[in-house]
């Protein structure tokens, strides 16, 4: 059973008195790291098995520890909660294990430190979290592709400097948000790969003093590689920073989607209408429909950036080896993952519910947006682009001054602007003609957009490569 009064610590023998309650308050991390328990149990099972194979424990002791850890896992799955003396999740599991199997539980910590233990559990959690976020992002990408397929032939203005620039297909605009998310998924996969390096067996800093097979641990826990340096292994949190960076970058991309749609949903644009499921109303103005999910997504990007800065700020000043500053790595990591697992589905739901006002989008296309096409027309006739640019610029200025569309200018004005303008000049002022000319890979032409949609569909095939979980049969947590 646990020590009298429920007190249970993994340290303290060299201290004459107990810690100050003020230290306990700041030192206690179980409110944050409690969610690591499935991974701590899993790695503890693997450690018990490795100690048995190394001859440090008898096989009966190893199996008894496995059995006890299974009991602990079930208790935690059933809702067991920390008590006041549980400093962190590792202490809590150790306490419950002592309750389950008695004195043999004290042998589990042989050759192991909380330093390599927490590093291992955090890596396992990060690998799993990257997979969960990846699944959410794939679902958002699926919505974008589905909407793009329905809007292949619809046209809209594209913008630079928030000024109308050139016509594009609505599908092309939608997919401009698909590919940044695809890059985010690659970064997530790289972060998961970076996390897949086993620190267990590194001890507190100098490595374990017992002949434990770290290769066996690597395989049983599904890691890709074994950390080569014990000093580095217990203090390395590059994988945390990499995961948070991937999430912060994703947050920026989601913020840009949100900003586009918030603008497009305004009365001034009127390009999209928001559905009921992801909009809210006003407590005062009955007519309001507010895109709150998108605004929260936009705001969340700032907090994700804060998590990244906090993590990098913590790491940049640390000496080598484990330092207690690293206790806060999980606070930043968990917040970033939790935020993204709320934001991504909300953005996906919002996009799925959108109604695109295609007539309004096409009505926003003006002939001045085909100015580049008019210059290209002259180039095809033999003019240089620079002289074409000047001639078309003069026509644009005249149309603006007269407040008319360019196709309303007298035909002779085109001939005066440049001798190569012919009777077919007005064809170059057609938005669909403009789009049809842009069939280069990555362009907005109908064929190019169809190929892009097919490429996006292919990207949503099998999940991207993440570290394989090797032979987990012997170390799997039985819940």
Bridge partners, residue 273, by sequence = 355
Show Cβ contacts of residue 94 under 8 Å, excluding neighbours closer than 6 positions. 8, 10, 105, 108, 109
CA distance 374 to 368: 9
The torsion region of residue 161 among left (phi > 0), alpha (psi -120 to 50) and beta comes to left
Bridge partners, residue 155, by sequence = 169
Query: In this structure, are strands 163-169 and 155-160 parallel, antiparallel, or unpaired?
Result: antiparallel
> Quick check: 186 and 194 in contact, CB under 8 A?
no
Is 433 considered catalytic here? no
Catalytic residue among 20, 282, 283, 300: 282
Length of the chain: 479
Is 161 considered catalytic here? yes
Residue for token digits 């030192």?
A: 27
> Quick check: 71 and 171 in contact, CB under 8 A?
no
Residues 180, 182, 185, 186: is their CA dihedral positive or negative?
negative
CA distance 227 to 217: 12
Catalytic residue among 161, 213, 300, 388: 161
Residues 84-115 as b/e (b if ≥16 CB within 10 A, e otherwise) read: ebbbbbbbbbbbbbbbbbeebbebbbbbbbbb
Show Cβ contacts of residue 19 under 8 Å, excluding neighbours closer than 6 positions. 27
Bridge partners, residue 164, by sequence = 159
| Active site residues per annotation | 161, 282
């Amino acid at each position: 059973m646990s020590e009298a009064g429920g007190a249970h610590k993994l340290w303290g023998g060299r201290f004459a008195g107990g810690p100050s309650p003020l230290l306990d308050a700041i030192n206690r991390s179980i409110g944050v790291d409690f969610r690591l328990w499935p991974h701590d149990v899993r790695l503890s099972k693997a450690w018990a098995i490795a100690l048995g194979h190394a001859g440090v424990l008898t096989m009966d002791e190893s199996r008894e520890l496995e059995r006890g850890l299974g009991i602990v896992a079930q208790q935690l799955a059933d809702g067991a909660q920390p008590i006041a003396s549980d400093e962190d999740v590792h202490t809590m599991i150790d306490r419950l294990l002592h309750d389950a199997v008695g004195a043999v539980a004290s042998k589990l910590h042989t050759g192991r430190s909380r330093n390599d233990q927490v590093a291992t559990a955090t890596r396992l959690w990060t690998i799993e979290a990257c997979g969960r976020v990846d699944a959410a992002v794939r679902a958002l990408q699926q919505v974008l592709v589905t909407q793009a397929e329905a809007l292949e032939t619809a046209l809209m203005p594209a913008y630079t400097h928030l000024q109308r620039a050139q016509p594009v297909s609505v599908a092309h605009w939608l997919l401009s948000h698909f590919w940044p998310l695809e890059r985010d998924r690659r970064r997530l996969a790289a972060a998961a790969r970076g996390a897949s390096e086993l620190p267990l067996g590194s001890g507190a800093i100098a490595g374990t003093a017992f002949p434990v097979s770290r290769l066996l641990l690597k395989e049983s826990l599904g890691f890709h590689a074994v950390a080569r340096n014990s000093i580095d292994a217990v203090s390395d949190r590059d994988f945390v920073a990499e995961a948070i960076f991937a999430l912060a970058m994703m947050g920026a991309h989601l913020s840009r989607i949100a900003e586009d749609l918030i603008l497009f949903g305004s009365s001034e644009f009127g390009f999209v209408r928001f559905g009921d499921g992801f909009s809210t109303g006003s407590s005062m103005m009955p007519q309001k429909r507010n895109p709150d999910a998108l605004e929260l997504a936009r705001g969340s990007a700032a907090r994700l950036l804060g998590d990244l800065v906090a993590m990098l700020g913590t790491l940049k000043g640390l000496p080598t080896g484990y330092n207690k500053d690293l206790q806060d790595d999980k606070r930043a990591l968990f917040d970033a993952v939790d935020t993204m697992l709320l934001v991504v589905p909300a953005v996906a739901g919002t996009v799925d519910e959108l109604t695109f006002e295609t007539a309004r989008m096409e009505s926003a296309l003006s002939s001045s947006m085909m100015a580049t096409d008019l210059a290209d027309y002259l180039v095809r006739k033999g003019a240089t682009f620079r002289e074409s640019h000047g001639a078309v610029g003069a026509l644009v200025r005249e149309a603006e001054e007269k407040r008319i569309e360019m196709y309303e200018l007298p035909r002779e004005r085109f001939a005066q602007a440049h001798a190569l303008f012919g009777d077919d000049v007005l064809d170059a002022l057609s938005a669909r003609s403009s789009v049809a000319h842009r069939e280069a890979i990555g362009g907005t032409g109908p064929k190019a957009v169809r190929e892009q949609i097919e490429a996006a569909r292919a990207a949503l095939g099998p999940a991207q490569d993440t570290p394989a979980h090797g032979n987990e049969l012997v170390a799997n947590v039985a819940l």
